[in-house]
Amino acid sequence: MTAAFYGQVAVITGGAGGIGIALARQLGAGGASIVLADVDQHALDNAVGGLEKIGIEAQGVICNVADLASTENLASQAFEWRGRVDLLINNAGVSQNKHGKLFDVPMAEVERVFAVNFYGVWHCCRAFLPRMAEQDHPCAIYNVGSENSLFCAVKGSAAYIASKHAVLGMTESLREDVPPHVHVGTIIPGWVSTGLNPEEFLHLGMSADTFASIIVPQIAARERFVVSHAYNAVRMHERTVALDDAFARNAPRHEGDDEHDVRHVIARMRAAARKQD
């Protein structure tokens, strides 16, 4: 992966620590210039300084991704810096602080989690994508989901799990809204030791640097799904096996079963309209 990102500009939200700064080091080692976005000025200054000490060109921008105007300012500053953005990684996220059964979790907590984990990603895509679409070179947006985009990892975390499921669905839809030179994908971490974890559990997760070393080559290869924790496939398959079984028993495949498939119906309608023209 030597110099795989040479001359490119990478923007990373939630970039002052954890996965964000680990990705910055890996991408910078591959030749990228880095724009770090975070809400914490002190942490941001330290992160940028740390990158510069190891020879990585970087700048920091204060950004609250929960606020659309703040993400639009981030996009403006990022494009003004080098006149281009080649990679946007929407990494900023928060954990669910108040756990419990769905009907016991305060709505303020649900809204706080979604404001960053879902709307924060939406805001950044909205702010950056039009400008990235106007560029004349390949570029990419990667949204950071979670193993919780695929299954429920921790009980009592409905707000967090729902927000990460939503990120996956939004990203898959966004893939169809972009021109061919803009790649869109989802990063799906398993348990990584970051500031989102309680301190007593930090030693149990994968280190952020190890995680970054696994996924950055996948980002360079423009994978649709960027993955890291092998056992996540086991948990994911628990759901897909149950779904396959439900369809096999209750809605088995048969000739003509695409009659009500939305995509096939739309395709037939368009084909009929072309014939009339």
Answer yes or no: is pLDDT of 258 > 90: yes
164 vs 96: CA distance, rounded Å = 12
3-state secondary structure the chain: CCCCCCCCEEEEECCCCHHHHHHHHHHHHCCCEEEEEECCHHHHHHHHHHHHHCCCCEEEEECCCCCHHHHHHHHHHHHHHHCCCCEEEECCCCCCCCCCCHHHCCHHHHHHHHHHHCHHHHHHHHHHHHHHHHCCCCEEEEEECCHHHCCCCCCCCHHHHHHHHHHHHHHHHHHHHCCCCEEEEEEECCCECCCCCCHHHHHHCECHHHHHHHHHHHHHCCCCEEECCCCHHHHHHHHHHHHHHHHHHHCCCCCCCCCCCHHHHHHHHHHHHHHHC
The pLDDT-based confidence of 2 (bands split at 50, 70, 90) is low
148 vs 180: CA distance, rounded Å = 29
List, for residues 138-191, the tens digit of each pLDDT value: 999 999 999 999 999 999 999 999 999 999 999 999 999 999 999 999 999 999
Q: Mind telling me the catalytic residues?
A: 160
List, for residues 201-246, the tens digit of each pLDDT value: 667 899 999 999 999 999 999 999 999 999 999 999 999 999 999 9
Average pLDDT of the chain to the nearest whole number: 96
The confidence score (pLDDT) of residue 22 equals: 98
The residues spanned by each domain of the chain are: 9-229, 231-277
Mean pLDDT of 16-29: 97
The two structure tokens encoding residue 92 = 């900023």
| Whole-number Cα distances in Å, 210 to 97, 110, 206 | 26, 31, 7
The confidence score (pLDDT) of residue 196 equals: 67
The pLDDT-based confidence of 3 (bands split at 50, 70, 90) is confident
| Residue 22 · residue 36 · CB < 8 Å | no
pLDDT exceeding 70 applies to what percent of the chain? Answer: 97
CATH superfamily of 9-229: NAD(P)-binding Rossmann-like Domain (3.40.50.720)
122 vs 172: CA distance, rounded Å = 12
| Residue 87 · residue 132 · CB < 8 Å | no
| Residue 185 · residue 142 · CB < 8 Å | yes
Mean pLDDT of 4-20: 97
120 vs 229: CA distance, rounded Å = 25
The confidence score (pLDDT) of residue 141 equals: 98
What residues contact residue 114 under an 8 Å CB cut-off, 6+ apart?
Answer: 159, 162, 163, 166
List, for residues 51-88, the tens digit of each pLDDT value: 999 999 999 999 999 999 999 999 999 999 999 999 99
The pLDDT-based confidence of 194 (bands split at 50, 70, 90) is confident
